[in-house]
C-alpha cells in the first residue's frame, strides 16, 4: 500500500479582509455549489475547506494548477466529518496514483485553519521516464 499526504494552513482573517465583490467571485471560482451551501458564507468554514483543498492537491502531488479548485470537493457528513470527492483532473490523477481511500481532517483556532489529507492506494499506475 502507498500513502500520500498533504497539509496546509490558512489565516482565517484573509478572507474577511477581501473586498465583498472580489470575495463573491473568489468563492464562486474556488468552491462547488455544495460546498458553498454547506459553508453558508461562514469564513471559518470556507478557510477550512480552502486548506483542505490545498492539502488534497499536495497529496496528489499537483498543487492547484493542473488540478482545479472545483476538482476537489470537501463535503461534511451529518456527523461533521469531512469527506473528499474528486472530479475532473483530480480524479484522473488519483486513479493514476492508484488512490482509492482518503481521510481529511480540518481544525481551526482563533487565527488559522489547518487541514491534513492522507490518501492510500495500490501500486501507482505511472509510466516512468
pLDDT band at 122 (very low <50, low <70, confident <90, very high): confident
- The answer for residues whose C-beta is within 8 angstroms of residue 21's C-beta and 6 or more apart is none
Arithmetic mean of pLDDT over the chain: 93
**pLDDT band at residue 1 using 50, 70 and 90 as cut-offs:** confident
Mean pLDDT for the stretch of residues 104-109: 96
User: Taking 90 as the threshold, does the pLDDT of residue 128 lie above it?
Assistant: no
Cα→Cα distances 22→19, 52, 69, 111, Å: 5, 21, 17, 21
Q: Determine the Cα–Cα distance for residues 53 and 87; give it in Å rounded to an integer.
A: 12
- The model's pTM is 0.92
CATH code of the domain occupying 2-121: 3.90.470.20
Q: Among candidates 5, 19, 12, 22, which has minimal Cα distance to 84? A: 5
Active site residues: 58, 108
Amino acid at each position: 500500500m502507498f500513502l500520500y499526504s498533504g497539509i496546509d494552513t490558512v489565516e482565517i482573517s484573509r478572507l474577511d479582509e477581501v473586498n465583498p465583490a472580489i470575495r463573491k467571485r473568489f468563492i464562486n471560482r474556488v468552491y462547488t455549489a455544495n460546498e458553498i451551501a454547506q459553508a453558508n458564507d461562514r469564513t471559518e468554514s470556507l478557510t477550512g475547506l480552502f486548506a483542505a483543498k490545498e492539502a488534497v492537491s499536495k497529496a496528489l502531488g499537483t498543487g492547484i494548477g493542473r488540478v482545479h479548485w472545483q476538482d476537489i470537493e470537501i463535503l461534511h457528513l451529518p456527523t461533521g466529518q469531512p469527506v473528499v470527492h474528486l472530479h475532473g483532473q483530480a480524479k484522473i490523477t488519483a486513479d493514476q496514483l492508484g488512490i482509492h481511500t482518503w481521510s481529511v481532517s480540518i481544525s481551526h483556532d482563533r487565527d488559522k485553519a489547518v487541514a491534513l489529507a492522507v490518501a492510500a492506494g495500490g501500486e501507482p499506475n505511472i509510466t516512468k521516464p
